[in-house]
Structure 1
Amino acid sequence: MATTEGTKLWGGRFVGNTDPVMESFNASIAYDQRMWDADIRGSKAYVKALEKAQLVSMEENQKILHGLDQIADEWAKGTFEIKPGDEDIHTANERRLKVSNYFFLFIDSAANLFKGLFVFRLGMLYLLFNPILCSVTLREINVLFPGYTHLQRAQPIRWSHWILSHAVALSRDVDRLLEIKKRVNVLPLGSGAIAGTYLAYDLLFFFKYEIGRIFSLCFFCVFFLAEFLFWASLCLTHLSKMAEDLMLYSTKEFSFVTLSDAYSTGSSLMPQKRNADSLELIRSKAGRLFGRCAGFMMTLKGLPSTYNKDLQEDKEAMFDCYDTVHAVLQVTTGVLSTLKINQSVMEAALSPDMLATDLAYYLVRKGVPFRDAHSLSGKAVFTAESKNVSLNQLTKEDLIAISPLFEDDVSSLWDYQSSVEQYSAPGGTAKSSVETQVEHLRKWTKILMQ
């Protein structure tokens, strides 16, 4: 059924009805109804400002506030009835209230984002807090396993060092999120579609969000959302990277870790399978969010200044990113908190060739420039491969033939614990360094939780 234009907020200019297909195509109520609480709270603040500006009486103000409370109650109970002519959450609430004064100014996505930021903050902190306490404590701090570059065994590291590498990335995501919060901590009410408002009122006095200032330039409001979408994309890129590592480590070829049944699935054909679908979905969601971000950026790229109907696409992108990141954080937390490591398999995967760098360092301590030491160590690796023996099985004569600086004490190099302990600089994989990093993140977490 077509909608009569006269019933719309903007209908006075038009004659006749909107095509039903266009009516549906134009509407955003299907997804932006989630903003009902933000819309009503913003409307309450605005009508109080109108009373202060003497544009509505005290009696009118009380009637409107009472009506808004009734509408909020209907939304909360799930009894609010959406009509065919309700384009979005703002017009739906206005239609239900039947108020002639137009005070439903566009609140923008930032209003809903304030609530979301707090949820994300707690989710991120829990994600960091859980693996730090469960996996980087003394219980597992002595576990060594191969570190990889180019998917090839590189150097021995601590399992806790690997976890910390991802924890640090996520802590930086939290910092970025808090920086975004500072930038979106503004009130777009009163900016209007282009010119602002002629009404004089103090919105900050009435608005109950933690707003830092009024943002009166509508030209730029929508870019807050673009920044949020980018943040979500980067955050899930970090989680995807971690998920990819764990997928490899959980394969039979590696067998470093075992996922809980709660975060694994089976095969409809092969009974023996334990599929890491939780990790695969984490990885796929990163692509989903990047697509949302890129899609919205392409929408912005072609727009002229101020409001255009294209910007209706922002709510769906924001809600999808919010839901996706929230779900991924929950699943990732579950995966890490139930993950079992196979220490014996990890340590059995260590091999003497991973200490080739240590062999080069040995020569550096003898005064050889690292470039030359690297070359001599490489020759030792080649000799071992040619003789089909491991690097630590080369004889003293083999090593002296490569460099006369090799002496009996070279045998002390073939110890993985000693190798790991030499990297005691900040960010290194020595036990003392890992413990320092854990303590730093614990203090950082405690400060943010205050």
Structure 2
Amino acid sequence: MALWSGRFQDSANASTQHFGASLPVDKQLYAQDIAGSKAHAAMLAAQGIISSEDALAISAGLDSIKTDIEAGNFAFDINNEDIHMSIESELIRRIGDAGARLHTGRSRNDQVATDTRLYVKERATALMAANIELRSALISQAETNFNVILPGYTHLQHAQPILFSHHMLAYAWMLTRDFKRLEAARTSADANPLGAAALAGTTYPLDRFATTAKLNLARPIPNSLDAVSDRDFLLDLIYACSVSCLHLSRLCEELVLWSSTEFGFITLSDAYSTGSSIMPQKKNPDFAELIRGKSGRVVGDLVALMMTLKSLPLAYNKDLQEDKEGAIDAANTLEDCYMCATGMISTMQVNAGAMFAQAKKGYLAATDVADYLAKKGMPFRHAHEAVGHLVLLCEQRKCDLEDLSLEDFKAESELFEADIVDALNLEAIVAARNTYGGTAHEAVRAQLQEIQAAIQQDKSLL
């Protein structure tokens, strides 16, 4: 019989019992449920609501249940519809009336909210640590291949030459923002609903500040209605996971392109590639593609929870049972993606020659040639037009800007002199962009120092 069956004459229908059960999902929160129950029991004893002997028996019984769960010796029964009832039922079976006193002054509403917040704090911290590992891998590649030049793109067309290290650090900065979002989700979860009971608080003299301290939470939630119905912290977690998955998807899209025969910019490790069942020559970037694909599922988790919450009246509603599966999935998926991406980035081979060869195509010096004229007094818009004429000439001759003679340049403008050759040198073009945040070696070295300092700061938050 269910722990709430006193008011009912008939047993639950087997199909509805299965439909209404959250145990297959929330049994993952067993450790958080036990921690919350131990804190609640200790507080009840301290307030004289139950005896210290009962509190000790409850704590010992819960510890033994946790040991059995972690050893795989605990039989979960779907008739106990959630992890909370499963543990409490077994506790009562093991220690008798003392176990039946555990739920004094508590509802499953504040209990499940507490468990979920503790879970989010733990998972957000784990994701923050995995985030740092991936950023470190990107930085390592940036340092190892510091002098490599590749074409930068807009619209997936050759635009301007940049350092490969600059490109890697762009993703490292995206992930730095992702870290802050994960940290914000952890902070959002760091509050204690325990003691709010079903929705209105309780007549027992509970000490909510004591359970807050016992559970290492930052503060008790001041409104009992809000305490049991708030799931913003889950939205914050899934949103943080969604944005980071979108960033990983962008990174993996480039890894897929770069590892293709057409680009040849990188070679992925065999450990992060697969073959074909029919084509012996194939080496497919399956894991990059899979990370790219999983981003959609995590965004789906976010949308699903938003739709669940959008019309709920205060306070608790059974709809909220649907809050955990998507959050657990999003956190687990992002952690898996972080680990896989870290391995891919750490082990990939950068083909500097292929990158540089492509950087010499597509008139990447065009902007610098226009700047050359502008610095000699020509209005930039006129300079832009003049260089456009030169590019058109190159297309007609099927050559590049560096293949034009000085006479060709002078035919377009007398401002061109012999030093125009310097403006066509890729290394010089890169080195000239030394403003803060630019792609020049000097600027990227400063950027490396800044992001390494950011990582050290972030490590202190774990």
TM bracket (short chain): over 0.9
Q: Does 1:154 find its partner at 2:159?
A: yes
The unaligned stretches of length 5 or more in structure 2 are 93-98
Aligned with 2:267 (options 242, 258, 269): 258
Q: 1:393 aligns with which of 400, 403, 424?
A: 403
SS at match of 1:156: strand
Query: The residue matched to 1:444 in structure 2 has which SS?
Result: helix
Check conservation: 1:188, 1:221, Cα contact below 8 A. no
Q: Which AA in structure 2 matches 1:434? A: V
Q: Secondary structure at the match of 1:86?
A: coil
Q: Distance in 2 between matches of 1:264 and 1:111?
A: 37
| Residue of structure 1 equivalent to 2:443 | 433
| Cα deviation digits, residues 229-256 of structure 1 (max 9, x gap) | 1110001100110000111000000000
In the alignment, the residues of structure 1 paired with residue 176 and residue 269 of structure 2 have an alpha-carbon distance, to the nearest angstrom, of 25
Name the SS of the counterpart of 1:187 in structure 2: coil
Matched-pair identity in %: 37
User: What is residue 15 of structure 1 aligned with on the other side?
Assistant: 9
Higher deviation after alignment, 344-353 or 164-173: 344-353
How much does 1:108 deviate? 4.3
The aligned counterpart of 1:232 is 241
Counterparts of 1:244 and 1:409 in 2: how far apart (Å)? 40
The equivalent of 1:421 in structure 2 is 431
Cross-structure match for 2:116:
109
Q: Once the two structures are superposed, what CA deviation does each residue of 1:365-420 show, in whole Å capped at 9, x if it has no partner?
A: 11222222222211211122123321222233332232222222212111000000
Q: Per-residue displacement from partner, 1:53-88 (whole Å, max 9, x unpaired)?
A: 221111211221121111111112111111231110
Name stretches of at least 5 consecutive residues in structure 1 with no aligned partner. Answer: 1-6
Counterpart of 2:34 (choices 2, 27, 40) is 40
Maintained 8 Å contact 1:421/1:430: yes
Work out whether 1:172 is the aligned partner of 2:174. no
Question: What secondary structure sits across from 1:157 in the alignment?
Answer: strand
In the alignment, which residue of structure 1 is the partner of 2:318?
309
Give the partner amino acid of 1:372: H
Distance 2:50 2:214 in 1: 21
> In structure 2, what is the equivalent of residue 268 of structure 1?
277
Q: Per-residue CA shift, 1:285-325, capped at 9, x if unaligned?
A: 11110011111111111322221111111111111112111
Aligned partner (choices 323, 328, 331) of residue 337 of structure 2: 328
1:212 CA displacement: 1.1
In the alignment, is the contact (CA less than 8 A) between 2:287 and 2:340 conserved in 1?
yes
**Conserved 8 A contact 2:135-2:175:** yes
Deviation at 1:89, TM superposition (A): 0.6
Superposed CA deviations along residues 163-194 of structure 1, whole A, max 9, x for unmatched, are 00000000111122212222221112122332
SS across alignment from 2:262: coil
Which position in structure 1 is the counterpart of 2:214? Answer: 208
* Partner Cα separation in structure 2 for residue 305 and residue 379 of structure 1: 67
- How much is the aligned-residue C-alpha RMSD, in angstroms? 1.5
TM-score normalised by L of structure 1: 0.95
1:100 match: 100
CA contact (8 A) 2:185 2:234 kept: no
Residue from 134, 137, 148 that aligns with 1:130: 137
Code of the aligned partner of 1:338 = T
Does the CA contact (< 8 Å) of 2:125 and 2:183 recur in 1?
A: no
Matching of residue 65 in structure 1 with residue 70 in structure 2: no
Q: Which moved more, 1:75-84 or 1:147-156?
A: 75-84
Find the aligned partners of 2:188 and 2:165 in 1 and give their Cα distance. 35
Aligned counterparts of 2:275 and 2:401: Cα–Cα separation in 1: 41
1:243 and 1:210 map into 2 onto residues whose CA distance is 38
**1:279 pairs with 288, 291, 303, which one?**
288
What CA deviation, in whole Å up to 9, does each residue of 1:339-359 have, x standing for no partner?
001111111112251110011
Hey, what's the Cα distance between the residues in 1 that align with 2:381 and 2:441? 29
**Contact kept in structure 1, 2:124 and 2:237, CA below 8 Å:** no
Hey, what does 1:181 align to over in structure 2?
A: 186
One-letter code aligned to 2:139: I
Paired position in structure 1 for 2:82: 88
Alpha-carbon distance between aligned partners in 2 of 1:179 and 1:289, rounded to the nearest angstrom: 18
Alpha-carbon distance, 1:198 to partner: 3.1
The corresponding residue for 1:362 is 372
Q: Which amino acid aligns with 2:309?
A: L
Output the TM-score relative to the length of structure 2: 0.92
CA positional deviation for 1:438: 0.9
For residue 354 of structure 1, give the secondary structure of its aligned residue in structure 2: coil
Report what 2:95 is aligned to: none
Moved more, 375-384 or 227-236: 375-384
Summarize deviations over 1:127-174 as a string: whole Å, max 9, x none.
1112212x122x411100111111111111111111000000001111
| Total equivalences in the alignment | 442
SS of the counterpart of 1:191? coil
Kept in 2, the 8 Å contact 1:233–1:289? The answer is yes
SS class of match (2:314) = coil
Which secondary structure does the structure 1 equivalent of 2:214 belong to?
A: coil
Residues 364/197 of structure 1: CA separation in 2 closer, same or farther (3 Å cut): farther
1:120 aligns with 2:127: yes
